[in-house]
Structure 1
Amino acid sequence: MAAAPVTILCILFLIMILVTETAASINWQLQLGYYSSSCPAAESTIKATVEEAVAVDKSNAARLLRLAFHDCFVEVRFEVIEQAKTRLEQSCPGVVSCADIVAIAARDAVVLSHGPSFGVPTGRRDGRISSLTLANDLPDVNDPIEVLKSKFHAKGLSTKDLVLLTAGAHTIGTSACFFMPQRLYNFNGHNDTDPSINPKFLQRLKLICPLGGSSFQRLHLDWSSQFQFDDHILRNILNGFAVLASDAQLVEDGTTKRFLQSYAGGYGIGKSSFGKDFAAAMVRMTNIQPKTGPNGEIRKACHKVNS
């Protein structure tokens, strides 16, 4: 599938777009254990599906956390989500939304990567529109830090959330060389290299993503522990070992840099509040203006709206 020119950060925002709308709010609220009566096995079914997928391929955890890597169409195309939906339609037809499956699966993927466990409020409904145009305001990998901050703020997320969600999304998994040419070979349009890249790291990046090479070649986002949810990526970013330009931008702003330094100072997920605060940021993100009640539908298949 051809890569679309959108940011890696859009993958986290996909969950947000799946569950948000601009319609006036009504008296419907998400809640923990929403399916405890209507579909008691909902969360355990999703968890089992995620566990099977990660057992087959560890990189599926990162895919589930970010959902898509090269494009950001506002529809779910990942087969693990579809498999969970199929199983739930067999046991609880028309009950569990794809938006809730996405949110729960992302949490389970984090847990399976040794990250924090957290409750996911549920009760979302799915949108009736799948459109790329809805993704136009998503952060781009080459956005300056002020633009990144403004795009998060526009969704009701703080600068601290920007740091938490960016680092948390990129502590596991890979990216593609598709996102690297501008940073490695045409920085600011001057046929140069981003000077924030640590010289020790630059040679490795250019070796994996040579000029004119395959845009689909993969590279780890966290060189220290690519399959483990931890805070190593925070120190990587601070020390010039950020793979993506959007990650490196977090050092260019005094506020975001202080957040990085604060979390990185803990040295270990058990000694830092990074994991706990990331979990809280994930909940905030998935709780922004969710579609509930009559504002949406329960899709029969996650890749398309109901006919």
Structure 2
Amino acid sequence: MASLVAALFIFFLLRLGDALSVDYYAETCPQAEAAVMEAVKRATANDNTVPAALLRMHFHDCFVRGCDASVLLNSKGNNTAEKDGPPNISLHAFYVIDNAKKAVEKLCPGVVSCADILALAARDAVALSGGPKWEVPKGRKDGRVSKASESTQLPAPTLDFSQLKQSFSQRGLSTKDLVALTGGHTLGFAHCSSFQNRIHNFDANHDVDPSMNPGFAARLRKVCPAHNKVKNAGSAMDSTTTVFDNAYYKLLIQGKGLFSSDEALLTHPKTKQLASRFAASQQEFFEAFVKSMIRMGSIQGGQEVRKDCRVVNQ
């Protein structure tokens, strides 16, 4: 019964996604995309971690209740919102979405959803970092529910391949989507806690994950000692942390992926082959990433267009 409910839920979300259109605001707010791009560009000029933050924020939004901007809502009263759940504590750059929303509201009040602004901002973040640019289907609505307890539905960095596959398939996403979207790890930074399990007390026979490049593991152990007390210690996700490229895959197949979930892509023939293809061809990665972002971005379930991205309409 539970699997049937899950299947119907996914079908419902995907059917909603059918209503999205790249021309959704062509008449009602034609300057919306330019306003969002300007907000992202201005923030990125002051802080080069913004693109990684926005891409991650969009992913975290879509994987809980669909792409409904529920991750943007503030906690209120007795309700702790998604953004304050454990996997989301390190999310930042919410102010960029606030600034974009204010700019768009001046152009056309009450027309453009926060969910669409976040989807556009994620696209712009990738493009400004040297990655591909694509037409974002629009028409999402904003949700009214945000619960920290549901943030545990996000795929954790410790998941193995079967767990990752299940997480993505429950949202109507394929194995290829899994590999392509994980390529988003080409941007950003990871705290020690996200990969500590691989470099200390890995299992009964190994202190370090034997699948990890020894030199890479040694460097990580210096940055993240067993009893690390440095709050923001960690490592860049790949060698070009502010550039959207295929360096992530090149490092991954050398045993230099950070997370267990990264390494998991090499434990299955199909995903290993895809990772190798993306390492060999940045163009192929870009094309797959765009298609997967559009698919992921079509999972939605909101009901309104919020006036303020942090609070539901009264």
Give the counterpart letter for 1:129 in structure 2: V
Task: Please tell me whether the aligned partners of residues 58 and 119 of structure 2 are also in contact (alpha carbons under 8 angstroms).
Answer: no
2:137 pairs with 1:121: yes
Question: TM-score, length-normalised on structure 1?
Answer: 0.84
* Distance in 1 of aligned mates of 2:17 and 2:209: 49
Give ranges in structure 2 of 5+ residues lacking alignment: 1-9, 65-69, 73-82, 84-93
Superposition RMSD in Å: 2.5
* Distance in 2 of aligned mates of 1:239 and 1:282: 26
2:262 pairs with 1:247: yes
Picking from 289, 302, 305, the partner of 2:309 is: 302
Structure 1 partner of 2:273: 258
**In the TM superposition, what are the counterparts of 1:87-102 in structure 2 within 5 Å?**
87-102=103-118
Task: Please tell me whether the aligned partners of residues 69 and 175 of structure 1 are also in contact (alpha carbons under 8 angstroms).
Answer: no
Structure 2 partner of 1:209: 224
Give the counterpart letter for 1:302 in structure 2: C
* Distance in 1 of aligned mates of 2:131 and 2:307: 31
Structure 2 partner of 1:284: 295
Q: Which moved more, 1:208-217 or 1:234-243?
A: 208-217
Give ranges in structure 1 of 5+ residues lacking alignment: 1-19
Secondary structure of residue in 2 paired with 1:75: helix
Structure 1 pair 110/68, CA: closer, same or farther in 2 (3 Å)? closer
* Distance in 2 of aligned mates of 1:239 and 1:54: 31
Picking from 167, 170, 186, the partner of 1:154 is: 170
* Distance in 2 of aligned mates of 1:24 and 1:166: 21
CA displacement, residues 72-109 of structure 1 (integer Å, 9 cap, x when unaligned): 98422611111111222222211111100110000000
**In the TM superposition, what are the counterparts of 1:154-173 in structure 2 within 5 Å?**
154-167=170-183, 169-173=184-188
CA displacement, residues 126-146 of structure 1 (integer Å, 9 cap, x when unaligned): 011011233333211111111
* Distance in 1 of aligned mates of 2:100 and 2:266: 39
Secondary structure of residue in 2 paired with 1:219: strand
Task: Please tell me whether the aligned partners of residues 60 and 154 of structure 2 are also in contact (alpha carbons under 8 angstroms).
Answer: no
Percent identity (aligned)? 39
Structure 2 partner of 1:220: 236
As a proportion of its length, which structure holds more helix? 2
2:152 pairs with 1:136: yes
Task: Please tell me whether the aligned partners of residues 179 and 274 of structure 2 are also in contact (alpha carbons under 8 angstroms).
Answer: yes
Picking from 50, 62, 77, the partner of 2:52 is: 62
Task: Please tell me whether the aligned partners of residues 177 and 219 of structure 1 are also in contact (alpha carbons under 8 angstroms).
Answer: yes
Give the counterpart letter for 2:310 in structure 1: H
Give the counterpart letter for 1:116 in structure 2: P
2:90 pairs with 1:79: no
Question: TM-score, length-normalised on structure 2?
Answer: 0.82
